[in-house]
Amino acid sequence: MNIIVASSEVVPYAKTGGLADVCGALPSQLEQLGHQITVFMPGYRAVNYGEFSVQKTGIDLEIPIGNQLVPGELLVTTLPGSNVKVYSVTNDDYFDRESLYGEKGVDYEDNAQRFIFFSRAVLESVRLLDLKPDLIHCNDWQTGLIPALLKVEYESNPLYENIASLITIHNLAYQGTYPSSTMPLTGLDWKYYNYLQMEFFDRLNLLKTGIVFADSINTVSPTYAQEIQGAEQGCGLEGVLQRRANVLSGILNGIDVTQWNPSIDELIPAKFSADDWPRGKSECKKHLQNYFGLEQNSSTPMIGIVGRLATQKGWSLILQVMQRWLETTDVQWVVLGTGAPEFHAALTSLYQNHPHKLGLQLGFSNELAHQIEAGADIFAMPSEYEPCGLNQMYSMAYGTVPVVRRTGGLADTVVDASLQTIAAGTANGFSFDGFTAIELERALSRAIQMYRFDKENWNNLVRAGIQRDWSWAVSARAYERLYRKTIERKQGHPISP
């Protein structure tokens, strides 16, 4: 298949979240499966004027935005470790800026124009580069206009009539909504500005536009694909998503196993694998106890947490359980995170009262994140919602048993240790339903009991996590199937493998 991936973020060039990881990892995996993949991203300062060898193509663009023709240029580089071409769509007025979407917490005021320009430039490049794609894989609101342009404006052009579109939703909370006065910039007729298509409470909504017009829609986990069809997690778009339920699915993200693999990880004090993890993990745990000044005791259970200090991640529940357990229970906690000031303050106060049971680092440290994933016995992640989540997968790959709330990607990756799943050999962690401190406490208690009194089953959980293939190779095969299905539906006949 011949596929274009269009994204506002691609690792290693530009990243603010998981979107960049997906669009940086998936293309080379798909190439290895024999497909021709071309990536498009905006020509940000970090891409064009950074450390990457970006070359001129000699191709100039003229993109209509409202009643203006905006000039652009296509630059090109190659995705590291692959032959995948990455085109950077350049217009320095729009993209030669400090940041991707805004500065000092304020979005750039011309974001709609910037990404309408990018979306139109991708479609024009199809013609200018003679790409002949079977499908354009769009990602999030920044590329939400592409499926609409394909269906409405390019539909009657023979070069475009067979191109299918897919939009992946990485986080439904970000929708790209703008005042109605933005509509003329899209170049589409006002007739599409209605509540069933591009309008959402009298604003232009670019994610909704993508959802309505794309041939297929997916999210980053199967459970999140279901959850967003309900009022609780639908962010107002649940009705639109329900109407498109027949083409909506979920594919779990993978993890980058060149970075997150305990048998080759240079950031952890002792490497280990599924065969010799007890020795390696106990050295890693000792190192953490030393680093944080905790009591050096190999049998005291250690609970690790790494993540943004945001309400979504369930810190209100964690703080309640920590407060009780620091007084009463022989358990150590190691916490790495940064974010909301109220959580910084609450964690600092707990740390001041219990410095020998709580190791706390408020900041960002990739190295310490690796060390906690490797050294802790248990990893806690009681998120309120979680489109996919990476930390629970990292923890299992490092033999650290996750305790999670059963939502989104957490529900799809963590199999709760019940009598049945233990007997079937599928258990790899502990999960609970209600977003309450008491449910988190019960799940953590179950984990601690098994850790202390049932080593055989505990070791089976650890091994199940380390042995499973969490790599992008698995997700790439699922995207391959989804592309094929979408193209066949669009073209009305089977395509060759």
Residues of this chain that bind ligand ADP (CB under 6 A): 17-18, 306-308, 336-338, 364-366, 369, 389-391
Q: Which of 154, 170, 134, 138 is closest to 15 using CA atoms?
A: 170
Q: Which of 426, 430, 359, 428 is closest to 399 using CA atoms?
A: 428
Contacts 24+ apart (CB under 8 A), 78-82: 79/10, 79/24, 79/27, 79/28, 79/39, 80/12, 81/28, 82/27, 82/28, 82/31
Least separation in angstroms between residue 429's CB and ligand ADP is 15
Q: Which is nearer to ligand ADP, 308 or 344 (by Cβ)?
A: 308
Least separation in angstroms between residue 192's CB and ligand ADP is 32
Least separation in angstroms between residue 140's CB and ligand ADP is 13
Encoded tokens for 333: 């906690």
Q: What's the rounded Cα separation, in Å, for the pair 431 and 227?
A: 17
Q: Which is nearer to ligand ADP, 401 or 422 (by Cβ)?
A: 401
Least separation in angstroms between residue 389's CB and ligand ADP is 4
Q: Which is nearer to ligand ADP, 248 or 390 (by Cβ)?
A: 390
Least separation in angstroms between residue 18's CB and ligand ADP is 5
Encoded tokens for 489: 């539906």
Strands (E), 297-357: 302-309, 332-339
What spatial distance separates the first Cα and last Cα of the chain, rounded to whole Å? 8
Q: Which of 388, 365, 393, 390 is closest to 468 using CA atoms?
A: 393
Q: Which is nearer to ligand ADP, 1 or 390 (by Cβ)?
A: 390
Least separation in angstroms between residue 394's CB and ligand ADP is 6
Q: What's the rounded Cα separation, in Å, for the pair 194 and 199?
A: 5
Q: Which is nearer to ligand ADP, 25 or 369 (by Cβ)?
A: 369
Least separation in angstroms between residue 284's CB and ligand ADP is 16
Least separation in angstroms between residue 335's CB and ligand ADP is 9
Q: Which is nearer to ligand ADP, 217 or 252 (by Cβ)?
A: 252
Give exposure, 367-395, as e/b (b: 16+ Cβ within 10 Å).
Answer: ebbbbbbbbbbbbbbbbbbbbbbbbbbbb
Q: Which is nearer to ligand ADP, 187 or 337 (by Cβ)?
A: 337
Q: Which is nearer to ligand ADP, 119 or 218 (by Cβ)?
A: 218
Q: What's the rounded Cα separation, in Å, for the pair 22 and 19?
A: 5
Sheet of 2-6, strand order: 55-65, 68-78, 85-90, 36-42, 2-6, 135-139, 164-169, 216-219, 248-250
Q: Which is nearer to ligand ADP, 336 or 380 (by Cβ)?
A: 336
Least separation in angstroms between residue 392's CB and ligand ADP is 7
Least separation in angstroms between residue 56's CB and ligand ADP is 34
- Asked if residue 145 lies in contact with residue 206, where contact means CB atoms within 8 angstroms, the answer is yes
Q: Which is nearer to ligand ADP, 371 or 486 (by Cβ)?
A: 371
Least separation in angstroms between residue 125's CB and ligand ADP is 30
Q: In the chain, what is the greatest distance between 2 CA atoms, to the nearest angstrom?
A: 72
Encoded tokens for 117: 């320009």
Q: Which is nearer to ligand ADP, 95 or 385 (by Cβ)?
A: 385
Q: How far is C-alpha 213 from the chain's CA centre? A: 23
Q: Tokens 């953590």 map to which residue?
A: 444
Contacts 24+ apart (CB under 8 A), 264-267: 265/370, 265/374, 267/366, 267/367, 267/370, 267/371
Q: Which of 243, 167, 118 is closest to 483 using CA atoms?
A: 167
